[in-house]
Homo-oligomer: A and B are copies of this chain.
Amino acid sequence: MTTTVLLVDDHPVVRSGLRAVLDAAETLQVVGEAATGEEALALAAHLRPDVVLCDLRLGNGIDGIQTTAALRALDPAPAVLILTTFDRDAEILGAIEAGAAGYLLKEVDPDVIIDGIQRAAAGDTVLAPDLASRVLKGMRSPLPRLTDREIDVLRLLATGSANKEIARALFVTEATVKSHLVHVFTKLGVDSRSRAIHVAQETGLI
């Protein structure tokens, strides 16, 4: 039984490579390609693939996590297998929480991708062992949840802004910014803005 696959990646050469690899597997058939999340949704609704192989970073527009969530809301809903270079906790957990059946890194051999697609189509969860342990760890001690406002402050922080500048940008007082920073520092377990930026970037919170 042939499994149909939709490829979603903003790099043409990656799509070419995936097509060459998957076409060589007799049980898989590439039915379409998309360079953006929006294209992926339109094509998936029309072509009804069994599996969507999707990158996380998709240029402008919605990202791979948002694309995954939207794909999983389709009827019928394809299995989504993430294939990306990004391995930060927030991204892995975000993809799984969005409904991805699996998460592979682009460094893997092509036959791992083929096997992953087949297992995703069969309803299995597809994770490399080290990623699986990180997902379990994430379920046990989840990444801190920052409120929208805290994210706003943190993003400005990461551009190098001082508290006064952040206050000005968000139309609040410096005291308010400091209050938000106290919460952010506590949630991230840090005690300086430099550390907060570093942890947030490493884990993919921003």
Contacts and interface: CB of A to CB of B under 8 A. Distances in A.
Nearest to A35: B107
Interface residues of A, number: 36
Contacts of A161: 194
Contact of A11 (B20, B85, B160, B196): B85
A160 B21 contact: no
Interface stretch (A108-116, A119-127, A141-149, A168-176): A108-116
Interface in A179-206: 190, 192-199
Contacts of A160: 190, 192, 194-199
Contacts of A158: 194, 198
A61 interface: no
Contact of A21 (B16, B85, B113, B162): B16
A12 B108 contact: yes
Name A's interface SS: helix
Contact of A13 (B18, B195, B198): B18
A13 B113 contact: yes
Residue of A12, A19, A199 ringed by the most chain B CB atoms within 10 A: A12
Contacts of A42: none
Contacts of A83: 13
Nearest to A198: B160
Contacts of A137: none
A76 interface: no
A13 B107 CA distance: 8
A170 to B, nearest CB: 16
Contacts of A20: 16-17, 19-20
A7 to B, nearest CB: 10
21 contacts: A11-B85, A12-B107, A13-B18, A13-B21, A13-B113, A14-B17, A16-B17, A16-B18, A16-B20, A16-B110, A17-B17, A17-B18, A17-B20, A19-B20, A158-B194, A158-B198, A160-B192, A160-B194, A160-B195, A160-B197, A161-B194
